[in-house]
Chains A and B, each alone.
Chain A
């Protein structure tokens, strides 16, 4: 079974600064997807960024980028120029790339609560 570990229960960053959230995972599969989701106080899950394991290039979405180290099974999220609206719980998630029913399920880490200080 796959596991996802987020070792930082809480992080804080000053507005306009950069912060990196850590995530490691364990899997025996060679092809999979990794995600970072944001959950603000509204509890709505929002996809921040997605990485496909077979792609060596790190995914980037505006101020959000990842450092994907497949051999180390590490998938960290960097938030640049942090904004007050970035304050939320961030979840790292894993999904198998193999198709079919339960293979589409997401396995989540425990989350990191990010506080942005003005």
Chain B
């Protein structure tokens, strides 16, 4: 099956620093990737849709200048949390849709961000 990886799996950073999370599709090309945020014991909330070669589409209420998304290739999307604060601490999950028409999305294992 299609595999999506995320790196790092866990990151702890100081308040005010920036953190980059990578999402890679290992064995397929993904024109569209998605970034979700999940607080403890809550559902996944879509943050943005990342399209290869174009600007990301952000959901209402998500600050695009704080959560920078880059989808520079068909196998890699990155999420950078800029000037992170403790309230940004969360579990971030990416998913990827196979280019060419398959409907299923494949999820990465997630990244736990803790901002001190």
Contact = CB atoms under 8 A, between A and B. Distances in A.
Give the interface SS of chain A, mostly helix, strand, loop or mixed: mixed
A106 B34 contact: yes
Interface string A89-108: 00100010000011011111
Contacts of A46: 107
A110 interface: yes
B43 A110 contact: yes
A72 B103 CA distance: 24
Interface residues of A, number: 20
Give the interface SS of chain B, mostly helix, strand, loop or mixed: strand
A101 B43 contact: no
A4 to B, nearest CB: 9
Nearest to B50: A101
A101 B51 contact: yes
Contacts of B43: 91, 108-111
Given A47-B104, A106-B34, A108-B44, A101 B49 contact: yes
A44 B34 CA distance: 15
A43 B97 contact: no
A52 to B, nearest CB: 8
Contact of A104 (B42, B45, B91, B105): B105
8 contacts: A45-B107, A46-B107, A95-B103, A101-B57, A106-B46, A107-B46, A108-B44, A110-B42
